[in-house]
Each structure stands twice: as C-alpha cells, then as structure tokens.
Structure 1
Amino acid sequence: MAASGKDWDAAQYLKFERERTRPSLDLLSQVPLANPKRVLDLGCGPGNSTAVLLRRFPNAQITGIDSSPDMIGKAKKTLPGIEFRLEDLTSVKDTEDADLLFSNAVYQWLPYEKRLQIFSDLIKSQKTGGVFAFQVPDNMLEPSHVAMRSVAEEGPWSEMFKRHPPARKPFQSPQEIYDRLKPLCSDVNIWHTSYYHILDGHEAIVEWVKATGLRPFLDPLSASEREEFLAAYLKRIQEVYPPLHDGKVCLRFPRLFVVAVRA
C-alpha cells in the first residue's frame, strides 16, 4: 500500500522478507477458522502474506488487494494462480462474502481519523462468524523512528518538514480498538509482541526502514538531499543502537495484533 504519492519498491521491501513475514504467521495462528471459503488479503504487498494464507487454506478462494502497482506486479509473478487486484484500501469492495479479512502491516498508513470507521465498516459488511484480523507496527517511540524525526528537524530540509510534517500519528490504543469493535463482535482478541531482529549492522537498519518508515521523509527530498539525510540518519542510528559482541545490531520492533469475530 502506497504511503505517499510515490509507488512502493517491492525489491527493497523484500530484503527482509523472513522478518516481515513472521508477523503474518503469528497473526494467522490466532484466526479461529478451519476451512474458510473466501479470504481477502488487504494490503497484500508483494504476496508474502498471501503465500502464508495459501499454505494455511489451500482450498480457499484467496484475493490479494493493494494500492501499489509495483507490489501487485511482484505478487502476480510470485503467485500466478492467485487473483490480485489494484485497489484503494480506504474503499475496498466485495467484502460481504469473505470469511476472513486479513491485513499485515497496512492500516498504519491510512489517515488516523479514518481507521476506526474503516474497521467498523469492514466488520459490519461481514456475515456472522466472519473474522477480521490485522497487525500494525507500533514503533513510533522506538529509537529508529525517534531518529527519523530528529534528523528531519535538523539540516536544510527542516523548514519544509515543519510546513509538511511527515510523521504519522501513533496507532489507536487497544482500549479504543476494543470499544469500537466489541459492539459488533462476539470476540475481540488483542495482543502486543516485540520482535528482536538481529541484523548485520547499522546500515541494515537503514535499509529496513528505507522501505517503510523512512519513505515519508525521503520521498519529498531531491536525490542529493536524500543522500545527505540518509548519512545523517545512519550516524544517529550508530549512536542509539550499540553493536552486539559480534558486531551485529538488535532492532526491537513492537507490533499490535487484533483478531475480531463478527457477532
């Protein structure tokens, strides 16, 4: 799902495919469905989460939906037997017959004020027993993201970022999500997990966030400004992530999970 006017880069995103796919497995493990007939992967990206769904539910009709042409193109090449659609997730259609609406790391990109209404509308569209399951990063206060904002406040780009702040708001709290969804649901399962990704070095942290969190900071910049920003960001990352005994670094990555069952 595109975070800005520019398209996503599927190849950049997949540099850490194993780490990015693991939350899909953890989310799916809590979905209380044995044999769903129809599954929608909302914000399917390059198809890594769709592949997880296909392995779990090989007999289901699965459709992947994303707003990024590059992501959809990669997904179609990877899983040619699956239907993939290019569509805006703020107004996705044909959810009524879906037994499972599944979403891996997408809704943090949607406007803050629209998220809960979108969730309500999706659940209302489902039949009794239908499941809506999603996970989102919850890392706005992590050193990796604090460093983005700090670097944006410095340097020749600071005035531009003051006029057009790139940082998204933190995600809604578990309490807000529960209170909004429970009147529509027989069960709302919410949990929080922190992953500790051991990466090869500080440059790997930069490569990780270049595909996602850094995009709103980098996209408005010129090529030369981008290089300057990345250099300043790398320096800050080197300061806040001490190397491990073998020279690698540990990137803590908290995520919020929700599995809701339609009443």
Structure 2
Amino acid sequence: MPDWSPSTYLSFEDERTRPARDLVAQVPLTAAQRVVDMGCGPGNSTELLVGRYPDAAVTGLDSSPAMLAAARQRLPQVQFAEADANSWMPEPGTDLVFANATYQWIPEHLTVLPKVVAALPKGGVLAVQMPDNMAEPTHQLMRDVAADGLWAARLADAARAPLPPVATYYEALAPGASRLEIWHTIYNHVLAGPAAIVEWVKGTGLRPFLDPLSADEEADFLARYLAAITEAYPATSDGKVLLRFPRLFIVAVR
C-alpha cells in the first residue's frame, strides 16, 4: 500500500487535531515521566503531549515513514520511531499511551488494547480516540461507489469494519482498569463545500479504496463519489457544508 500523505492529512490540521486536544484534556495525569504517542502521524498530536508534559520523555510511533519524516521536521527535539500498532507494547515505566485515530485501523484492537493496559504500571493511562463514522454518508457512499463499477471485486474488502458497541469495549477493558471512561463526541466540521469533504477523506478513509486503482480509475471513482457527496451534504445558506463526524473516546487507568 502506498505511504500516507502528511500534506493531505494536514490540509485540515485544526479539525483533525481537535479530538486529540479534547482527549489530552481528559487524561488524569498531572505529571508523567514517559509518554508514547502511538500513531503519531505528522506530529500534531505529539506536539500537544509535549506541551502538556514538558518534563516527560515523549516518543512518537507510527508505521508510516512519510508521517515520521514530517513529525521529525515538526518536532526535532522529540524521538520518533517506526512501530506496528498490531503488536507494539509499552516499555516498563510508560505512564501514558496516547492513540489518536489509530486503533480503528487494527482489526484485532479489542485484543490488543487490554494487553496495552496490562503492560502499564499501576496508575498508568491508555487514552484512545477512534472515528466511529462507518454509518455516516461519507463512508456509506465509499462502499456504494466501490460496489458499482469494474473495480468492485478489487474493492470488496476495502472498507474497515465498524467499531463494536461501547459495552464491548467496557467488557474488554474493565477487568484491567481501576478507572474506565468511555464516551462519544459528535463534531460538526464546517467545510468549504463537497469537494472539501472528498479531500478530507482522501487523507484517511478513502485510501484503501483508491490505492488499488489506476490513475484513470481513481479519477472516475472520485468523480462518482463527489457527485454522491454533493447530494448527501447540501450547502448551508453561506454555501458551506457540515461534516458530521462521531468519534469514540476511551480513557483507561491501570
């Protein structure tokens, strides 16, 4: 699969960073010695952690070389390294594992996350945010366009699975947690128009659909998708559109 594009991702940096800011605010640690940003991307979430815990050793981890290069340029004083969230576990003494929009890409994250909590010291925190938007028009229309074209067979498994119910996360994480908070927040991002919505998802959810396609096929797919998005997200009185975006938050204290 082609590497992630930091520039595409950061086209909406403020909107994408907003959930990370909200998650950082709910971490119940006044101080920390070792902090890990799992799935750090281009370093926008890591920057928040450095600001919140200036005396901590903060490490950013990601599987994307391009994202890590952007993060190192942004925060040259921070250590960044390549890691796979499917199998990574925190080192002893890690006070906080922070993961903003990462574990939804890990099919077995319900198995992985309790192991991460178990690896933390008593009082250590796992803080996770995941998009919970597979039922939104943005993602339903991806699947519709993928199923209606010569690319249907190649894209049959492109969509990621929807997140399980909240109770499933509670049952998985509660046995190893002294405190567990789970909540949803629905963001309504004001974007310039339907094309901006397409540009937003090109940096994340659309990637598994576009990566297998040729350049001509990609252009055809995007044209069909834009037409569907334009119908699904009508303009407001000032010509802008509202992108409804539900996200799931979890804070588990060991």
TM-score where L is the length of structure 1: 0.95
Match of 2:247 among 229, 233, 255: 255
Residue type of the partner of 2:121?
K
Aligned to 1:230: 222
1:27 aligns with 2:27: no
Match of 1:240 in 2: 232
1:134 aligns with 2:128: yes
- By how many angstroms is 1:94 displaced? 4.2
The aligned counterpart of 1:179 is 171
Alignment of 1:37-186 (within 5 A): 37-111=33-107, 114-162=108-156, 165-186=157-178
| Residue 221 (1) aligns with residue 213 (2) | yes
Q: Matched residues in 2 for 1:205 and 1:68: separation?
A: 23
Residue type of the alignment partner of 1:184: G
Q: Distance in 1 between matches of 2:178 and 2:90?
A: 22
Question: Could you say what secondary structure the match of 1:220 adopts?
Answer: coil
* Secondary structure of residue in 2 paired with 1:258: strand
Distance 2:155 2:80 in 1: 35
- CA drift of 1:96 comes to 2.1
Structure 2 residue matching 1:15: 3-state secondary structure: helix
Partner Cα separation in structure 2 for residue 260 and residue 197 of structure 1 = 28
Quick one: which of 191, 194, 197 aligns to 2:186?
A: 194
* C-alpha separation in 2, matches of 1:90 and 1:152: 27
Q: Could you tell me how far apart the structure 1 residues matched to 2:221 and 2:171 are?
A: 40
Counterpart AA for 1:134: V
Q: 1:95 touches 1:122 (CA, 8 Å); kept in 2?
A: no
Question: Structure 2 stretches of 5 or more lacking a match?
Answer: none
State the Cα deviation string for residues 226-251 of structure 1 (Å, max 9, x = none): 00000000000011001000111000
Helix, strand or coil at the partner of 2:247:
strand
Instruction: Tell me the amino acid that sits aligned with residue 208 of structure 2.
Output: P
Q: 1:207 aligned to 176, 199, 221, which one?
A: 199
Number of residue pairs the alignment of both structures matches? 254
Q: Deviations over 1:86-114 (max 9, x none)?
A: 11112224432110000000011111xx2
User: Quick one: distance in 1 between partners of 2:15 and 2:123?
Assistant: 31
Q: Residue 246 of structure 1 aligns to which amino acid in structure 2?
A: D
Q: Does the CA contact (< 8 Å) of 1:199 and 1:205 recur in 2?
A: yes
Segment of structure 1 superposing worse, 249-258 or 90-99: 90-99
SS at match of 1:225: helix
Runs of 4+ in 1 over 3 A off after TM superposition: none
Native 8 Å contact 1:44 1:65 kept in 2: yes
The answer as to whether partners of 1:167 and 1:216 remain within 8 angstroms in 2 is yes
Query: Unaligned stretches of 5+ in structure 1?
Result: none
Contact 1:67–1:88 under 8 Å retained in 2: yes
C-alpha contact (below 8 Å) 1:64/1:84 kept by paired residues: yes
Q: Deviations over 1:140-162 (max 9, x none)?
A: 00011111011011122123334
Q: Distance in 1 between matches of 2:13 and 2:155?
A: 31
Q: CA deviation at 1:6?
A: 1.8
When the two chains are superposed, the root-mean-square deviation of aligned CA atoms in Å is 0.9
